[in-house]
Amino acid sequence: MALIDVIKYEGNPGEVVWKFPRNDISTFGQLVVNESQEAVFFKEGKALDVFGPGTHTLKTGNVPILEKLVNLPFGGQTPFSAEVVYVNKALIQLKWGTPTPIQVEDPKYMITLGVRAFGTYNIKVTDSKSFATTVVGSKGAYNQDQVDNLFKPMIVTRLSDFLAEVVLKSGEPITRLSQHLEESSSAGKTKIQPDFAKYGVEVVDFFVQSINFDQNDPNFQKIQKVLTDKFEIETLGGMYQQKRMLDIGETAAGNPGGNAGEGMSAGMGLGMGMNMANMMANMMGQQNQNNAAANGQNDATTRLAKLKNMLDQGLITQEEFDAKKKDILNSI
């Protein structure tokens, strides 16, 4: 079999790593490396020399580590045994998502919710030696789907950590995470980068595009009720307690109970009804007092205006004006 004079990439599109199929290489042969690629020489499973884009003549001195290992002689087309692995260093665009909900605890309400999230991420190989050694091993090729299968579980594993960090930092319930996609994306990139770096890979971009929850999850409904009650308290102020009493009374009235508790339920219902009646009376009385006060104040203003007009026209004296003004003000 003739020695290999030219080594070039012949892998399929989408291959991240491709191994040249023969290992009987000739010195003074040509190594062709395309743009966004590196070629790594392997000997006995060890990554040795690395070549960047261009055409390289494999002469003595160009492969210093390999030369020392195999003791290459000078001159002539001397054969030597080595493996050449091409590594694609272009940007790799991938998607990630949670196949099943991830359990994340809300640090504020201490309630655990099932979270589903989806997004995209862009990576590139920065250390060809490390990637080819730790990821590819003895495989003849490694495509984007295999890279995706390797790294996606790492993202999902870290998901609960960085989402909880965003919730804690924002001070909002976990159900409002969808309002913090940018912060979640930034936290996610920071969290997963060390895991990818172990394989010689850099996370260029990381995006959280969607976060959602099971609307029927009892824990989700608990948090939603807490938020609803909080909104009512802030909106109604002092009227909130009265509203709650009315709600309780309505619930009791519509839930009289069984025979055993009929008397008690009736009594409670009656008590609730009386409390409701008293409460409504108090509320109406307070409103009437407010209306009367407002009407009285408006009437006094009108009378004072008329009195001042009479003074200006000389119909009454200043002493009469002062005395009458005092009487009107005292009547408010």
pTM of this structure = 0.62
| Stretch (H or E) spanning 108 | none
**CB contact at 8 A, 81 and 23:** yes
Q: Is the pLDDT of residue 300 over 60?
A: yes
**Residue 113 confidence (pLDDT):** 84
User: How much is the average pLDDT of 168-180?
Assistant: 85
Looking at residues 192-220, what average pLDDT do you find? 90
Conformation bin of residue 258: beta by default, left when phi > 0, alpha when psi is -120 to 50: beta
pLDDT exceeds cutoff 50 at 42: yes
Q: Which residues pair with 102 in a beta bridge?
A: 115
Residues 83-109 pLDDT 10s: 899 999 999 999 999 988 888 887 777
* Residue 267 pLDDT: 46
Whether residue 170 contacts residue 115, with contact meaning beta carbons closer than 8 Å, is answered with no
- Give me the torsion for CA of 68, 70, 71, 75, rounded to 10°: -110
pLDDT for position 36: 92
Tokens of 325: 């003004």
Domains of the chain, each with CATH number or no CATH: 6-70+79-88 (no CATH), 92-214 (3.30.479.30), 217-255 (no CATH), 301-330 (no CATH)
Residue 32 in this model has a pLDDT that exceeds 70: yes
Average pLDDT, the chain: 77
